[in-house]
Each structure stands twice: as structure tokens, then as C-alpha cells.
Amino acid sequence: MRGDEKITCANCGITITWKPTIVDNKFYCCIGCSQGGPCTCDYSRLPRPEEKAPIIVKEAAEEKGR
């Protein structure tokens, strides 16, 4: 992911300007979208672009173990 690329949520389509949630190499804006919805973003308090910590990074292998 380069700094000049526009990233959009694979579920709701919002442009993500913060560190995305990544599941199975797909980008999501929040945990809700990464689980198929509904989106759980608080649009009045979205992360700022300079915030580097992702909400969550989860690999598919972790899900299979459940």
C-alpha cells in the first residue's frame, strides 16, 4: 500500500484515510465491515490520517481455528 493510493472499504465503500482493518488481504474501515456489516464507524469521530495504529489485523487462518 503506497501513500498516494486511495483505499476504500471492501464492504461499505468509504474512502479510508486511516490505517485500515485488514482481513484476508482486503481493506475494511472497521471491525463491523470486516465481519460483513453493518458498518460500525462513528462518522463524527473517524481516525485521522496520521493515526497509524490499525483497529485490527486478522488472518483467515485464525478464523478457521474457531
**pLDDT tens readout for residues 5-62:** 789 999 999 999 888 889 999 999 999 999 998 988 887 777 777 776 555 555 554 5
Provide the grid cell at 64: 478457521
> Does pLDDT of 65 surpass 50?
yes
Domain ranges of the chain: 1-46
The dihedral region occupied by 8, where left means phi > 0, alpha psi between -120 and 50, and beta the remainder, is beta
3-class secondary-structure state, position 60 = helix
Is there a contact between 31 and 23 (Cβ–Cβ < 8 Å)?
A: no
Question: Is the pTM for the entire model greater than 0.75?
Answer: no
- Residue-level pLDDT at 61: 47
